[in-house]
Amino acid sequence: MKKRELGKSGLFISELGLGCMSLPDDLGEAKNIIDAAIHAGMNYFDTADLYDGGKNEELVGYALKGRRADVILATKAGNKMNEEGTEWTWDPSKKHIEEAVKKSLTRLGTDYIDLYQLHGGTMEDNVEETIDAFDSLKKEGLIRQYGISSIRPTVIKRFLGSSAAISVMMQYSLLDRRPEEWFPMIHDAGASVITRGTIAKGFLTSIGVTKAGQADGFAEYNANELKETVALLDEHSADLHAAAIAFVLRDKTIASALVGARTTEQLLDSIIAYENQPKSADVYLLESKIKSHTYKEHRL
């Protein structure tokens, strides 16, 4: 599997990465999925301390045991869980981030994190304090690089412009093209985009037409628009799953397209789709048939 550099960091990650949030609770099955990913050449694994109250990090750490040096491991912080583990509040303070990273390191069973990401952000945050926390962790060697997960252009621009951040995680797919407007700004800042929602909750797969017919809508599409758009994409694509992945990876700003999987079979479907990417002309044909929406809020 091909790899791309994450920003200008010297870290090279697989074009297809595993978004670990949807891993099953079963340790054995979670390990099977990660084993299959590594066997296929995937080296980028993304989790967060918020996922299942930290249990997801424990799953990932268990599954990667003995292979830490072979992967690029990413997690996130900024959401503070209550003691019961039932609710969370936004806390981008230096104190919280420095406490959170230690807990994540323990759950992951590692002494460093390759990519540590701010899991959100608002314009009301004390961004200087937050960035100072990440810079301090980097100097201590607890993290190698850092980035942000956000869909707010105002927050992204301020964070990139004031820091050494190398990545921005954004929801992006054939059905959600809102981030495209901001790719030049991110690229010019020396950062890369990591996409989540690459196959849009399964709408951009072989069962997409069926799923779309049962959904209330997605992103900027209402229920009827979603149904019509997915049917149109499916009609003009020999393999919609493959086209969806190829579409995301066509832009130089993208470092990795994340896919999730609850079973090994689901992961293998995405791996096969990646390996069977269509011709560029076919991808551009699909692109020409869909709308390119823009964010309505948090604009620069």
- How many CA within 13 A on the CB side of residue 295? 16
Residue 86 has pLDDT above 80, yes or no: no
pLDDT for 57: 97
Mean pLDDT calculated for residue range 83-103: 91
pLDDT for 85: 72
State the pLDDT confidence band at 81, using cuts at 50, 70 and 90.
confident
Q: Where are the domains of the chain?
A: 3-202+247-280
Give the predicted TM-score (pTM) of the model.
0.96
Q: Write the pLDDT tens digit of every residue in 247-294.
A: 999 999 999 999 999 999 999 999 999 999 899 999 999 999 999 999
Judge contact between 86 and 126, C-beta under 8 A. no
pLDDT averaged over every residue in the chain: 96
Could you give the residue ranges of the DSSP H alpha helices within the chain? 27-39, 55-63, 94-108, 127-140, 153-161, 183-188, 208-213, 223-235, 240-249, 264-275, 280-288
Between the two ends of the chain, the Cα-to-Cα distance in Å is: 36
Determine the longest span between alpha carbons in the chain, in angstroms: 53
Of 110, 114, 116, the residue nearest 144 (C-alpha): 114
Mean pLDDT calculated for residue range 198-227: 97
pLDDT for 82: 80
Both tokens assigned to 104: 């994540």
Residue 198 has pLDDT above 90, yes or no: yes
State the pLDDT confidence band at 154, using cuts at 50, 70 and 90.
very high
- What is the spatial distance between Cα 283 and Cα 125, in angstroms, rounded to a whole number? 39
pLDDT for 83: 74
Q: What backbone phi and psi angles, to 5 degrees, belong to 230?
A: -65, -40
* Topology (CATH) of 3-202+247-280: TIM Barrel (3.20.20)
**Cα–Cα distances in Å, from 114 out to 47, 191, 292?**
12, 15, 33
- What is the spatial distance between Cα 277 and Cα 273, in angstroms, rounded to a whole number? 6
Catalytic residues: 51
Residue 49 has pLDDT above 80, yes or no: yes
pLDDT for 84: 72
Residue 243 has pLDDT above 80, yes or no: yes
